[in-house]
Amino acid sequence: MKTVAVIQARYTSTRLPGKVLMDLAGKPVLTHIIDRLRTVEAIDALCLSIPDGDAQQPLLDFAATIDGLSVSRGPDEDLIRRFANAVDETNADIVVRAWADCPAVNPTSTAALVAAFQNENVAYAEIPNDSGYPEGFEVHVLSAETIKTIDAEATDDFDREAIIPFLVRYPERFSCLRLNKSPSRNDIKLLLDTPEDYEKLKKIFGALYPKNPFFGLAELEEYAKDHDVG
């Protein structure tokens, strides 16, 4: 069974254009995500999923510098088609869905989610944004069959762009496994969405990355004792 991490990215962010290639601790945001996902032993390959169009050329140029990173393309607002394309082009059996605005995606919780998915007979598994983990640890794991089913059946634009709502609507067909954390540390916000997020993440990475490039929950909780992480 081939497991592929598919990182969804676009260069044309409305609130923070080009954010996925901004510098954090001397590396582009996307490089941090790739490096972190590569430490997950269950992941066999990585693919960058980007929209069609010339505006994404900086992402193509970036991908050309990363050994072993494939690129898959498709309609900007039809994310499930882009993921179906990635499945076909990489011959994936299992997809780990990651976001290009989550530079601190956590290898430990991601590995735990992949292992749980492989051990259970479910259509998909998730660390959602209300899981109790810090915001920015979110990942989904889906079978290739599930992705192709959504692509074939989903007709609503929202379903095709968001992916998961279609599955939630039919729980009798698509069983789900969630990974949660208690007590919650959802107060730690690691998403890169605004200029303010970027300034905060520069401080976090500046403090933690030199000590451990793959810093995780323990380091973040210690940092949060004396610093703003919200």
User: What confidence category does residue 222 fall into, taking pLDDT thresholds of 50, 70 and 90?
Assistant: very high
pLDDT digits (tens, 9 = 90+) for 74-87: 999 999 999 999 99
Determine phi and psi for 78, rounding to 5 degrees.
Answer: -110, 80
Identify the pLDDT of residue 162: 93
Identify the pLDDT of residue 130: 92
Identify the pLDDT of residue 210: 98
Q: Which of 142, 42, 45 is nearest to 94 (CA)?
A: 142
Residue type, 8: Q
Identify the pLDDT of residue 109: 98
pLDDT digits (tens, 9 = 90+) for 127-138: 998 999 999 999
Chain mean pLDDT for the chain: 97
- Residue 140 to residues 91, 117, 185, 188, Cα–Cα distance (Å): 18, 10, 19, 19
Q: Is the entire prediction scored with pTM above 0.95? A: yes
Tokens 């290639």 locate to 21
Write down the H helix ranges in the chain: 29-38, 57-63, 79-90, 107-119, 144-153, 157-162, 164-169, 195-208, 217-224
Identify the pLDDT of residue 14: 86
Contact of 89 with 58, CB cutoff 8 Å:
no
Across 17-32, average pLDDT: 98
User: In order of start, what are the domains of the chain with their CATH numbers?
Assistant: 3-224 (3.90.550.10)
pLDDT digits (tens, 9 = 90+) for 140-175: 999 999 999 999 999 999 999 999 999 999 999 999
